[in-house]
Amino acid sequence: MASKREHDSYRDGYDEAWSAPQVPRPGYGDVLRALSRFERHSLRARIRLRLARGGVTFGTGADAMPFVVDPVPRVITADEWSKLGPGLEQRVAALEAFVQDVYESRRIVEAGVIPARAIDTAEGFEPELCGRLPEGVPAIGVAGLDVVRDREGRFLVLEDNLRTPSGFAYAAAARGALDLEPLPESDRRPFGEEAFAALGEALRQATPRGADPASAAVLTDGPQSSAYY
């Protein structure tokens, strides 16, 4: 169970697992009971060692840092997801419309919402794509939205990641490290096959009409990317 010191360290933030000492939030009771059989420091150490042996780091070379995985999962209840899910879909739809507009008609510039220089000097802007987005193909194949909670527990999007799906590999590595622990079978959920199947479908949808879907590929920044794994 959580100690008083651990609770005190989160007084200025939001403790997602505990509403008060010894009082788990909705959805966390079963999870915490399942994990109570483990000594948490040893559990974290084993997971950290597996990830290190697998070469899972954030950054590469001299800048490489350990990829830290918390064995306590982040629980989002069905009621929370019924609101969060549609909100994320709406956000990605708005981002898709923005990207399409940036590389095509630039109505957002014409309307005076964003100056052209803000787009043209953006680090991720690819001028060669202007006027060349395939018709009927989503510009955003994979969106990674960093969701956090404020101190009141409200969901906020900290950052929108639209360029490379780096989170897929990290999530698969984290699940692989956790799957070696003797957690109850009922607590396990499939991840790898479903996630990579979804990525494959996104690639197929991004294939221009008439092209061979087998020719689709994911382009990354390579080893210099901080999320290269």
pLDDT tens for each residue of 95-119: 999 999 999 999 999 999 999 999 9
- Residue 80 clears pLDDT 90, i.e. is over it: yes
Give the pLDDT mean for 147-161.
92
pLDDT of residue 1: 42
Q: Are 73 and 179 in contact (CB under 8 A)?
A: no
Q: Are 50 and 68 in contact (CB under 8 A)?
A: no
pLDDT of residue 34: 84
Give the pLDDT mean for 41-48.
92
pLDDT of residue 166: 66
- On the CB side of 38, how many CA atoms lie within 13 Å of its CA? 20
- Residue 215 clears pLDDT 80, i.e. is over it: no
Q: Are 18 and 26 in contact (CB under 8 A)?
A: no
**Ramachandran angles phi, psi of 64, nearest 5°:** -65, 135
Tokens 């009771």 belong to residue: 29
pLDDT band at 193, cuts 50/70/90? confident
Strands (E), the chain: 18-20, 23-24, 57-58, 65-66, 144-149, 155-161
Counting Cβ atoms within 10 Å, is residue 165 exposed (0-12), middle (13-18) or buried (19+)?
A: buried
- Residue 182 clears pLDDT 60, i.e. is over it: yes
Q: Are 144 and 166 in contact (CB under 8 A)?
A: yes
Name 24's bridge partners: 18
**pTM for the whole structure:** 0.80
pLDDT of residue 8: 53
